[in-house]
Amino acid sequence: MPDRYAVIGNPVSHSKSPVIHAAFARATEQDLAYQAILAPLGRFGATVEAFRVAGGKGANVTLPFKLEAFDLATETTERARAAHAVNTLSFEAGAVRGENTDGVGLMRDIETNLGVEIAGKRVLVMGAGGAARGVLGPLLERRPAALTLANRTPDKAIELARCFSRHGPVVGGGYEALGPHRFDIVVNATAASLAGDLPPLPTSLFGAGALAYDMMYGSGPTLFLQWAREQGVTRLADGLGMLVEQAAESFFLWRAVRPETAPVIAMLRAG
């Protein structure tokens, strides 16, 4: 019997995680099965428990359950505690371990896959939801010159910046405060692209040679990446690399084997 893993979310049928983990398992010759499980809203805990009792060894957690997963875990890592969100659960004798691999995923995509150094850079993160929470700690660990957090609801960005201020220089606010500032790395961690929307950004946002990164991914460039290109930005990336890298980190946690990510990113790009 293969070891069983799953991604649990709502909705979840669009998730690429089963394809990614199946590719990792083939490449590393791990005997495992990975499925997508739809958890009804309000039934996340019961869904996790049913999977665990049925022999599940671990699960990825996606929208909208990352905060519930944090509360459900009986043990959490420092990264998960800093993010206050969990995207990877491991079931071990009587314990449910919670980890957050989103930050590692973004760091590997920016630094290793895209070859962009974060240290000393002026970084802007747009959004103050679960995705932003997961990446602020790892970004600050790289010692950027400054980290700015902008959000549609400014108070959330201000509060989040306050929570992370002991990790490094971070300020939060609304989009109107971006005014004259220029950035070397701009990460869109909002759900705006999902709604075909764009945060209200000044056209002077990007410094020379800037990277525009949208955590969202799809069949074509997101609205944010299209807009960045119109502003003259040539380094553009969507969140597919981050998705595969965070999955690889989960796989490593569960199996103690690190899969190669480049072939899987290429496979997904090829459709």
Residues that bind ligand NDP (CB under 6 A): 63, 102, 105, 127-132, 151-153, 156, 189-192, 194-195, 197, 199, 215-216, 239, 242-243, 246
Cα angle value 25/220/124 (rounded, 5°) = 90
Extract the tokens encoding 207.
């410094």
Comparing CA positions, the residue from 170, 190, 214, 181 lying closest to residue 127 is 190
Q: How far is the CB of 270 from ligand NDP (least distance, A)?
A: 18
Closest approach, Cβ 184 to ligand NDP, in A, equals 20
Residue pair 114/250 in contact by the 8 Å Cβ criterion: no
Q: In the chain, which residue ranges form alpha helices assigned H by DSSP?
A: 17-28, 44-53, 66-72, 78-83, 102-107, 130-141, 154-164, 223-230, 240-255, 262-269
Residues contacting residue 100 through CB under 8 Å, at least 6 positions apart: 66, 77, 79, 80, 83, 85, 86, 87, 88, 134
Compute the least distance from the CB of residue 170 to ligand NDP, in Å.
Answer: 15
Nearer to ligand NDP, 118 or 187 (CB): 187
Residue closer to ligand NDP, measured from CB, 132 or 140: 132
Nearest to ligand NDP of 129, 138 (CB atom): 129
Which of 220, 221, 186, 222 is closest to 203 using CA atoms?
A: 186
- The catalytic residue among 57, 66, 121, 156 is 66
Which residue number, 170 or 192, has a Cβ lying nearer to ligand NDP?
192
Residue 215 or 233 having the CB closest to ligand NDP: 215
Nearer to ligand NDP, 176 or 197 (CB): 197
Torsion of CA 9, 129, 96, 37, to 10 degrees: 0
Minimum CB–partner distance for residue 185 and ligand NDP (Å): 16
Q: Which residue is closest to ligand NDP by CB?
A: 129
Using CA atoms, how far apart are residues 134 and 82, in angstroms rounded to an integer?
8
Q: Is 121 a catalytic residue?
A: no
| Spatial CB neighbours of 230, under 8 Å, sequence gap ≥ 6 | none
Least distance from C-beta 76 to ligand NDP, angstroms?
18
Q: How far apart are CA 266 and CA 271, in angstroms?
A: 9
Q: How far is the CB of 90 from ligand NDP (least distance, A)?
A: 19
C-beta of residue 191 within 8 angstroms of C-beta of residue 214: no
Q: Give the residue numbers marked as catalytic.
A: 66
